[in-house]
Structure 1
Amino acid sequence: MSATPCSRSRPDDAPAEGAAFDSLLNSDTAGFAEVDLGTGRFLRVNSRFCAMTGRSAAELLDGRGPSHVVHPADRAADRALWREGASSGRFREAEKRYLHPDGTVVWARLSVAVLVRWADGRPRRCVAIVQDVTAAHRTLERLHASESLLRLTMDVGRIGSFRHDFTTDQVQCCAGTRALYGLPQGEEPVSAADWFAAVLVEDRHRLREQSQAAIGARAEGVTLDYRIHRPDGQLRHLEARLRFGYDGRDHVTHATGAIIDVTEQREAEARIAHIAHHDALTGLPNRTLFRARLEQQVARARRGEGFAVLCLDLDRFKEVNDTLGHSLGDALLHAVATRLRAELRDVDTVARLGGDEFAIIQSQVSQPGEATRLARRLIEVLTQPFELQGHQVVVGTSLGISLAPEDGLEADTLLKNGDMALYRAKADGRGRLCFFEPEMDAKMQARRRLEMDLRRALVAREFELFFQPIVEVRSRRVTGLEALLRWNHPERGLVPPDSFIPLTEEIGLILPLGEWVLEEACAQAARWAGDTTIAVNLSPVQFSSRGLVDTVERALRESGLDPRRLELEITETVMLRDTEATLSTLHRLKALGVRIAMDDFGTGYSSLSYLQRFPFDKVKIDRCFTRDLGQTQQSGAIIRAVAGMCQGLDMRTTAEGVETEEQFRALAQKGCIEAQGYLFSHPRPAVEIPAMLARLSQFACAS
């Protein structure tokens, strides 16, 4: 038998339920077994469950499930129990027998709670709470067989017996029952009034109704669950199993029964229910509980009680995670939850929906004024610095607000409208609040249509590469071309990348699209004569892909392009991410023989440190500096400084956005090596590139 208090065999995608759930597994008050409904196998068991089934944890977790340990006579009923629960999402309590390898039979009472659900609500993993009721079951069997008075004087567990005489309205109970109720020991009967006085008021009416219904149906017995307050102040959960006695005219005369203290079991079930409906990190309601409370609030709103839904997330949260680590990010989320709770009333609900996303139900207030005041308070308190693990962390929040009934009377609609308002608030800037407006839905629908069009466009091959030349300043010779993506939309015509690339990054389409761009650019460049290079931009999302190096290597191999002719351009956004992983990827790309360029140099704040850490082949000076040449002294000074620095680092410089001869001459004076812009050519499709190269070559010779 396993000596460990808790043994586990968890799938990779199973989330940790937290310390509360682990404490249940480590408890010896009841057996616990976690079951995967898809495979029918045990995932975790505790030592108490091992003892009940007569098997070690290693045996139970070696591909076995409930059907492997249950008594053969109970196997069909047990399978039906799990099948019914997996289908309906609700598990009924049941009793069954476990058969030990040595022939020992153990009776057990099984309560099952859903621990994790699939996205469609079907149960995925459950936890069974198992109590050994062998002694109680055998005693009840003996009493039922002999039809004698029920005298349960068992010393096993917290189990007692009683007999309620309806003629005298007196209750005779054994020593075990008196101990459960906290009554003085003795043989004297207890009046029914005193007996029921210990029962919680909210449970008495239900007990009376259930008993009368069973008697009215001439039932043999009934099982009742209720709570009592003991004289010492303890709240206990009890389960009573009754047998009714009838006279010759079918009038009930008495009830005999057994009482079991199930307090630990009920408390464990409550803790599991809490885990299932609350976020383990912050303790806030999770999406499931938030949705249930939102449905309740909507029902009240249909009767005229308005409320507000506030959706918010944290500004700069990803920067905290990336720079200070996930441990501090978790601490920040916990601190944010504390501040949010402090600003709300008991009738309000705040939930963590996932990541840094939170949602609030603000009820029973005058809207929209109260929602505005609450949103402003939240923006103010979340802007204040957080002191976490020796760091001062400053974030902030943006909020979107939808109102009921004005913005909808469906839970999904209100949450969706709040999300759309949040999307607008973030687009307008950080630290803002925004109420839902009907036109937001139209814009969101347009965004969804654009997303569908993009997915279709990739399959329909509607994308095309245009190319813009890069010219050597000294000779005006074309040294390379930059590949620029265009979308030939069947209705909108040629669509520039800034209109759709951000969305492709959001929906993950940038990965297959970027792979196509690399393959197509290399294939086109391989057809050009000479040693002209081809420059391809890599988005931050694409650069973070684990398969990037393999994709580049495959594109070179299949096209036959000399790696020295491929130039990959990245922005400072890439360098701001996980530095060590980023540098590792850059060195692996460099090892292929390709050239690496830093694009849009000067628009960030950390370029110099990265130029020192990685030997870029080229630095591209952003067009904002080229545009102001001759107009501001600062632009010329910056270009001269960058060109001189890159020369010292053995890096080429390319100035973007060159449109006039004056700018071109100024760049030559500042020491810039290459230039790119409309002065030489607008981006052109692949079919025009040979002619364009020939024309620019003649121009270079003439100059």
Structure 2
Amino acid sequence: MKPLWRKLKNLFGAAESPAPADDAAMIEALFASDIAGIAQSDFRTGKFTRVNSRMCEMLGRGEQELMTLGPPDVQHPDDGARLMPVFLKAMSSKGKWEGDMRHLLPDGEVVWARISAMVTARDETGAPLRGVAILLDMTDARRADEQARENTEILRLGQVVGRIGTVRRDIVNGVILAEPAIRDIMALPEGAGPIPTAQWLERIVPEDRNRVAAEMRRAEEGGAEDISLDYRTTCPRTGRLRYIELRARYIFGPNGKATSSIGVAIDVTERREAEIRLAHAANHDSLTGLPNRGLFRVRLEEALALARRGVNFALLCLDLDRFKEVNDTLGHPVGDRLLDAAAKRLRKELRDTDTLARLGGDEFAVIQSCLLEPREASALALRLVQTLSAPFVIDGQQIVVGVSIGIALAPQDGGETESLLSAADMALYHAKSDGRGVWRYFKPEMNQRMQMRRELELDLRRAMTDGQFEVFYQPIMDVESRRVKTFEALLRWRHPERGLLAPDLFIPLCEEVGLIVPLGDWVLRRACADAARWPEDIGLAVNFSPVQIQSRHLVGQIASTLRDTGLNPRRLEVEITENVLIKDKETALATLYAIKALGARIAMDDFGTGYSSLSYLQIFPFDKVKIDRSFTCELGQSRKSNAIIRAVAGLCDGLDMAVVAEGVETEGQFEALRREGCNQAQGYLFSCAVAADALPALLDALNGAEWAQAAE
């Protein structure tokens, strides 16, 4: 086909002389057609002199607007700058130019046009004067080409990234024809020639090879059109195991026998490795790599199935001793490394047939398989206790923990997963109760004790709703005046069957089952309401557990209670133990400062029994320190006890803190406290804890009748 410029030359001629009438008619017909955009332009002005309607349509402009513009005004600036010098040179020397160029519509859209242009008139020097151009809209074709190239590139990238390739197998000649990309994917020899099928099979790992060959034979002999093969091969360069998925379609000859196949091979190594990692992560502990609770239950069910056929085993539940102290004092990263080190020690004491799992936190479990007699479990428990009792060195620090172990034997202690786990847990509970660092076998009576504990829990919940709790008060005396300074609120449970119970019999259980916060709120409100009726110079001390201090509602609860009862905040003392600060020091300190901001006073109870009491006196301005009764009982009899009391009193005096000695039972102890500078005292020498309605009589006995009258 002749180029468009030749057609233009035939129509417009190369001279300025008028065209014949039939050519003029053809030119008019061409301008009137909608096949292509046609434009005449003046080289001297650089403007269009005539355009047809198709040209206006292509460029999105009206005829009058285009008459004020020239080719550079509608061209894409990048293409104009690049192609205009070439265009002008060609028009001057050859009188014609043909090429593709982008044009910009008023709305910013781009139109691709194939342009055929020629000079229709020159001046006396031969320079172009006028020209005409035909523009064919190539936008759709261009976009189709770009889409095709993009699809091709996507397919190529998909094959490279996805490691996909095609392979053809000549079954008659027993060879495989594969492109270079697929050779790498399938770990086949490099080159372009055919590869014997037997050589390809040799590259498949032995565990998969026979299965793949058998599946291929069944497909060929059974006339199956499609086949899917999954197998592993080894890369000859790296030695790395690869996972391949091969999907092929067979072609059969007239005799019904397979002649060839064509298929797609996909390297799914990364996907399979990710699946393996995910499966491992789903069934194993991320810290120690041990089986987690889910996988352990599967292994336990498998062991129970064997136990029903006579293969006995032991279940050992382990709990590290003092691990919480490590976490609280040295931090969770050290605690994590300690758990990992403990897991490694435990593994060394077990056989390959045993199962070790981490159930969560510092809890581990062991399935000791093929148990011949119960004492084998004791022997293992002894080794585990010994190995975990030896010091650990973590980040240069020597750490000593221990382990308590509960043992249940299968099938005699339980034939199902839940019953056996429950038996081992009960045995572990008793091991920890018996001093830790020991192991205990499950006994049926343990179940009875656990049932009693559950009944006690139910009783506790009923006690909350039935109003069985009471607040008793024990006086704290001013040593100098021997008058009541404060009453400490002490909780009692009037059990309908067991009588009046002290808090140490039920408070730990309240903390375990989540009752301590509502019960503590009740005690605070009851005690503040009682104290509001006392003389103004007698304070109220209320104990708060670590769980209460961690509650974000505590400060608001105290503020609302003081407001509702009308108790002056300065009369309230909040007593805490060191454990409050050990659990979460930052949160606890923030809460204590907020309570102090209300006007209440803060006291540290059981001072001297923990690990960091002195350091806590530095980080928080306590108003009062209560010395534990263990230091008071030998006052006047032991130089050490006297020295400790004297030192604490002197220290607190320098820090503007009051000192209270607990457990004062004799006049000798009281006199010793006076000599050593102790401010306040509490104990049976003055009074035990009494009910609220007994306080007027107690005040009368301790402070005189005027106090009782004021209280009334």
User: Secondary structure of the residue that 1:380 maps to in structure 2?
Assistant: helix
Check 1:103–1:496 CA distance in 2 against 1; reply closer, same or farther (3 A cut).
farther
In the other structure, the counterpart of 2:59 is: none
Partners of 1:534 and 1:342 lie apart in 2 by 57
Q: 1:462 to 1:264 in 2, by over 3 A?
A: same
Moved more, 176-185 or 416-425: 176-185
Residue aligning to 1:589? 595
User: Counterparts of 1:199 and 1:679 in 2: how far apart (Å)?
Assistant: 89
Question: 1:318: Cα distance to partner?
Answer: 1.9
Equivalence for 1:87 = none
Give, in angstroms, the shift of residue 668 of structure 1. Answer: 5.2
Contact 2:535–2:707 (8 Å) recurs in 1: no
CA distance in 2, matches of 1:519, 1:366: 60
Contact kept? 1:135, 1:156, Cα under 8 Å? no
Contact 1:154 1:160 in 2 (8 A): no
8 Å Cα contact 2:628-2:662 kept in structure 1: yes
What are the Cα deviations for residues 249-288 of structure 1, in whole angstroms up to 9, with x where unaligned? 9887765533222222211211221222222222222222
Tell me, in whole angstroms, the C-alpha distance in 1 between the residues paired with 2:370 and 2:230: 35
Among candidates 391, 394, 399, match of residue 388 of structure 1: 394
The corresponding residue for 1:428 is 434
1:346 aligns with 2:352: yes
Q: 1:334 — aligned with what?
A: 340
Superposed counterparts of 1:351-500, under 5 Å: 351-500=357-506
Question: What's the CA shift for 1:515?
Answer: 1.9
**Structure 2 residue matching 1:536: 3-state secondary structure:** strand
Counterparts of 1:291 and 1:170, CA distance in 2: 50
Q: 1:465 to 1:184 in 2, by over 3 A?
A: same
> For residue 268 of structure 1, what is the amino acid of its counterpart?
A
Q: Which deviations, in whole Å up to 9, do the C-alpha atoms of 1:453-505 show, x marking residues without a partner?
A: 32343344432212223334454433322111122334433322111101122
Aligned CA distance change for structure 1 residues 370 and 164 (closer, same or farther; 3 Å) = farther
Question: What is the aligned residue count?
Answer: 559
Of residues 678-687 and 274-283 in structure 1, the stretch that sits farther from structure 2 once superposed is 678-687
Residue 316 of structure 1 aligns to which amino acid in structure 2?
Answer: R
Q: Which amino acid aligns with 2:560?
A: R
Q: Which runs of 5+ in 1 are unaligned?
A: 1-101, 108-131, 138-152
Q: CA deviation at 1:621?
A: 3.6
Cα drift, residue 197 of structure 1: 4.9
Correspondence 1:322 to 2:328: yes
Find the aligned partners of 2:608 and 2:669 in 1 and give their Cα distance: 18
Matched to 2:361, the amino acid is: G
- How many Å separate the matches in 2 of 1:157 and 1:603? 67
Do residues 174 (structure 1) and 175 (structure 2) align? Answer: no
Unpaired stretches in structure 2, ≥5 consecutive residues: 1-145
Q: How is 1:237-386 mapped onto 2 (pairs within 5 angstroms)?
A: 237-244=243-250, 256-386=262-392
Secondary structure of 1:505's counterpart equals helix
Quickly say closer, same or farther: Cα 1:496–1:217, change in 2 above 3 A.
farther
For residue 211 of structure 1, report the CA deviation from its aligned partner: 6.7
**Cα pair 1:244 1:252 within 8 Å, conserved:** yes
Q: Secondary structure at the match of 2:427?
A: helix
Sequence identity percentage: 56
* SS of the residue 1:377 aligns to: helix
1:681 CA drift (Å):
3.8
Residues 168, 260 of structure 2: 8 Å contact kept: no
The one-letter code of the counterpart of 2:432 is: K
* Aligned position for 1:226: 231
CA distance in 1, matches of 2:327, 2:405: 21
**TM-score scaled by length of structure 1:** 0.69
Asked if 2 retains the 8 angstrom alpha-carbon contact of 1:478 and 1:697, the reply is: yes
Change (3 A) 1:214 1:290: farther
State the one-letter code of the partner of 1:595. Answer: R
Instruction: Write the mapping of 1:95-106 to structure 2, written as runs, cut at 5 A.
Output: none
Match of 2:541 in 1: 535
- Larger mean CA deviation between 199-208 and 549-558 belongs to 199-208
Whole-angstrom CA distance in 2 between matches of 1:214 and 1:459: 74
Task: Give the 3 Å change call, closer, same or farther, for CA 247–297 of structure 1 in structure 2.
Answer: farther
d(CA) in 2 for partners of 1:511, 1:687: 26
Q: Is contact 1:307–1:367 with CA below 8 Å preserved after alignment?
A: no
Amino acid across the alignment from 2:449:
K
Aligned-partner Cα distance in 2 for 1:511–1:376: 40
Counterpart-to-counterpart distance in 2, 1:402 and 1:216: 57
1:421–1:436 contact (8 Å) kept in structure 2 = yes
Instruction: Classify the secondary structure of the residue corresponding to 2:704.
Output: helix
Give the conservation status (yes or no) of the 8 Å contact 2:388–2:403: yes
The CA deviation at 1:665 is 5.8
Q: Which residue of 1 aligns with 2:118?
A: none
Give the 5 Å matches for 1:105-124: none
- Which moves more between the two structures, 456-465 or 387-396? 456-465
Equivalence map 1:154-169=2 (5 Å): 157-163=163-169, 165=171
Which amino acid in the other structure matches residue 305 of structure 2? A
Q: Distance in 2 between matches of 1:106 and 1:455?
A: 71
**In 2, distance between residues paired with 1:405 and 1:696?**
65
Residue 510 of structure 2: which of 493, 504, 516 is its match? 504
- Structure 1's 249 and 513: CA in aligned 2 closer, same or farther, altered over 3 A? farther
Give matches, 1:625-644, under 5 Å.
625-628=631-634, 635=641, 638-639=644-645, 642-643=648-649
Counterpart AA for 2:350? L
Deviation at 1:335, TM superposition (A): 1.8
Give, in angstroms, the shift of residue 637 of structure 1. 5.8
Deviation at 1:222, TM superposition (A): 4.0
Decide whether the 8 Å contact of 1:221 with 1:242 is kept in 2: yes
Q: Deviation string for 1:280-337 (max 9, x for gaps)?
A: 2222222222222222222222222222222222222222222222222222222222
**SS at the partner of 2:328?**
helix
Residues 1:231 and 1:575: Cα distance change in structure 2 (over 3 Å): closer
Q: Secondary structure at the match of 1:515?
A: helix
Larger radius of gyration: 2
**Distance of aligned partners of 1:413 and 1:528 in 2 relative to their CA distance in 1, 3 Å threshold:** same
SS at match of 1:434: strand
The whole-number CA distance in structure 2 between the counterparts of 1:209 and 1:441 is: 57
Q: For 1:564, which of 564, 567, 570 is the aligned residue?
A: 570
Distance 1:682 1:486 in 2: 13
RMSD after superposition: 3.9
Change (3 A) 1:241 1:428: same
Change in Cα spacing, 1:258 to 1:576, as seen in structure 2 (3 Å) is closer
Tell me if the contact between 1:476 and 1:700 (Cα under 8 Å) persists in the aligned partners.
Answer: no
* Residues 266 and 663 (structure 1), Cα distance of their counterparts in 2 relative to 1, 3 Å cut: closer
| Farther-moved stretch of structure 1 (457-466 vs 502-511) | 457-466
Residue equivalent to 2:10: none
* Separation in 1, partners of 2:241, 2:649: 79
**Aligned 1:183-198 pairs, distance under 5 A:** 183=189, 185=191, 188=194, 190=196, 196-198=201-203
What TM-score do the two structures reach when normalised by structure 2?
0.68
